[in-house]
């Protein structure tokens, strides 16, 4: 082992670095798998890039319900992102999230 | 990521192209998102898949050509240092032998290594047809996996992206670890056989 250190220092360091990275990624992969398999985490928090159709898919709600919640029933635009909807209506993403959460809770209690 | 909805195919094409040249763009994440948008109906499958695929093919070819141009230059520089030249000869031999499989697997299984394989294969003078065949097949696997997973797990892309990015890092770092470990092992064996008894 010592002889290797003397003759192939760089290689040994590279190897150990690669091994540490492998373990690091592996651990993170497992941790995220555990986190995301929890059904509580599966209603994805709203992000600006999502569309109403996508939200409907993620929260397993009808598209029409989503449009009602976000107040865009009249809008002919189908591919709007939440970012543009928020801008249009002068609301924040957080406000939209609360409206959505309220709907979900209400539906579950029925 | 809202750009994916607005510019769909074009964005996917540009991003996959850049990712094959080692640019730090989140191509896998965007492809997952693309798959998710195909599921929600915001993108068509043809649009998403073909854009991602052609971007990747073009990117691979470009990387390969860059490697090819740079290859002779690097070789002439290395030839001056005998140890490095020997190393480079070994690498070239290795690429010749495992080239096809290496190109294929680095498209999807060890994707972080992909762009570097493009440069190395070009520099090592890997046969262009061989490269193109394996790259094309590999890229189709990559596009299918990522857009497919994005489609199937559309309701939880955020989570999937987290898991997959770490998984691909794990695999890429893993194969490098195995390769370096093997190299160390050979070096140790050589050293042992050279020891006087």
For A39-94, what is each residue's pLDDT tens digit?
A: 767 777 888 888 888 888 888 888 888 888 887 776 666 677 888 888 888 888 88
Contacts of A107 (CB under 8 A, 6+ apart): A61
Q: Given the structure tokens 């230059």, which residue do they identify?
A: B73
Give the pLDDT score at A110.
67
Q: Does B3 score more than 90 pLDDT?
A: no
Q: Does A107 score more than 90 pLDDT?
A: no
* Nearest residue in chain A measured CA to CA from B2: A49
Instruction: Report yes or no: B86 at the A interface, CB cutoff 8 Å.
Output: no
Q: Does B9 score more than 80 pLDDT?
A: yes
Yes or no: say if B95 and B55 are a contact pair by the CB < 8 Å rule: no
Give the pLDDT score at B2.
64
Instruction: Report yes or no: A25 at the B interface, CB cutoff 8 Å.
Output: yes
Alpha helices for A8-59 (secondary structure H): 9-37, 52-59
Counting residues of chain B whose pLDDT is more than 90, the rounded percentage is 45
Q: Which of these ranges, A3-17, A38-52, B74-88, B140-154, has the smallest mean pLDDT?
A: B74-88
Yes or no: say if B38 and B70 are a contact pair by the CB < 8 Å rule: no
Q: Which of these ranges, B9-13, B49-53, B71-75, has the smallest mean pLDDT?
A: B71-75
The reply to whether residue A25 touches residue B180, judged by beta carbons under 8 angstroms, is no
Yes or no: say if B30 and B148 are a contact pair by the CB < 8 Å rule: no
Q: Which of these ranges, A78-87, B39-48, B156-165, has the smallest mean pLDDT?
A: A78-87
Q: Which residues of A touch B166 (CB under 8 A)?
A: 25-26, 28-29, 32
Q: Does B81 score more than 80 pLDDT?
A: no
Q: Which residues of B touch A54 (CB under 8 A)?
A: 36-37, 40, 42, 154
Instruction: Please name which of B108, B106, B115, B105 lies closest in space to residue B31, comparing C-alpha atoms.
Output: B108
* Nearest residue in chain A measured CA to CA from B6: A79
Q: Which of these ranges, A9-18, B3-12, B134-143, has the smallest mean pLDDT?
A: B3-12
DSSP-derived secondary structure letter, B26: -
What confidence tier does B190 reach under pLDDT thresholds 50, 70, 90? confident
Given its phi and psi angles, is residue A43 left (phi above 0), alpha (psi -120 to 50 degrees) or beta?
beta
What confidence tier does B138 reach under pLDDT thresholds 50, 70, 90? very high
Give the pLDDT score at B63.
94
Give the pLDDT score at B195.
65
The reply to whether residue B177 touches residue A7, judged by beta carbons under 8 angstroms, is no
What confidence tier does B54 reach under pLDDT thresholds 50, 70, 90? very high
- Per-residue pLDDT averaged across B164-185, rounded? 92
* Nearest residue in chain A measured CA to CA from B8: A79
């Amino acid at each position: 082992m010592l002889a290797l250190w003397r003759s192939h220092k760089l290689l040994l360091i590279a190897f150990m670095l690669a091994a540490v990275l492998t373990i690091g990624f592996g651990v993170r992969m497992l941790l995220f798998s555990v986190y995301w398999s929890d059904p509580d985490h599966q209603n994805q928090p709203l992000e600006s890039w999502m569309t109403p159709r996508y939200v409907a898919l993620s929260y397993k709600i009808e598209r029409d319900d989503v449009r009602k919640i976000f107040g865009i029933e009249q809008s002919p635009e189908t591919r709007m992102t939440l970012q543009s909807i928020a801008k249009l209506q002068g609301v924040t993403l957080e406000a939209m999230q609360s409206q959505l959460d309220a709907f979900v809770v209400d539906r579950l209690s029925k | 990521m809202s750009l994916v909805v607005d510019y769909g195919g074009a964005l996917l094409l540009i991003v996959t192209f850049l990712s094959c040249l080692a640019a730090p763009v989140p191509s896998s994440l965007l492809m997952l998102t693309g798959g998710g948008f195909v599921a929600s109906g915001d993108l068509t499958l043809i649009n998403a898949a073909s854009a991602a695929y052609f971007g990747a093919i073009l990117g691979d070819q470009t990387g390969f050509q860059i490697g090819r141009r740079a290859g002779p230059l690097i070789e002439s520089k290395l030839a001056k240092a005998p140890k490095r030249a020997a190393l480079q000869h070994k690498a070239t031999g290795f690429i010749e032998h495992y080239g096809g499989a290496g190109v294929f697997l680095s498209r999807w299984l060890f994707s972080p290594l992909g762009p570097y394989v493009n440069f190395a294969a070009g520099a090592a003078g890997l046969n262009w047809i061989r490269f193109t065949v394996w790259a094309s097949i590999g890229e189709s696997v990559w596009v299918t996996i990522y857009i497919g997973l994005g489609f199937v797990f559309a309701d939880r892309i955020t989570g999937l992206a987290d898991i997959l990015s770490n998984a691909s890092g794990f695999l890429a770092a893993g194969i490098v670890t195995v390769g370096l470990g093997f190299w160390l092992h050979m070096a140790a064996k050589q050293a042992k056989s050279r020891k006087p008894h």
